[in-house]
Amino acid sequence: MNERLEMLKKARERMLTDRDAHAKVLAAPFDRENAERARNKFIELQALVEALGRAIAAETSVSLGAEAG
């Protein structure tokens, strides 16, 4: 596995961990201020996780193409 792909996977895993922390706040008893911050951060992190997923897919495709050629 190339270094770039490994870095993207590590970054995605880190963002999943961060996102999970905000999900815990959202699942806890309601506290308006904390819930609003956690919701916004969760949405931001989810978008980042999805972008990293797309980058991983693209990098995997490039890597497979390089191996075939």
Work out how many domains the chain is built from and give that number.
Answer: 1
Query: What digits encode the pLDDT tens for the residues 18-52?
Result: 999 999 999 999 999 999 999 999 999 999 999 99
Residue 60 pLDDT: 93
Range of the domain at 58: 3-68
Q: Cα(21)–Cα(19) distance, rounded to whole angstroms?
A: 5
Measured between alpha carbons, how far is 3 from 40 in angstroms, rounded to an integer?
A: 32
Please tell me the distance from the alpha carbon of residue 9 to that of residue 49, in angstroms, as a whole number. Answer: 10
Nearest to 11 by CA among 40, 54, 41, 42: 54
| pLDDT of res. 69 | 62
Q: What is the pTM of this model?
A: 0.85
Phi, psi of 28 (to 5 degrees): -75, 165
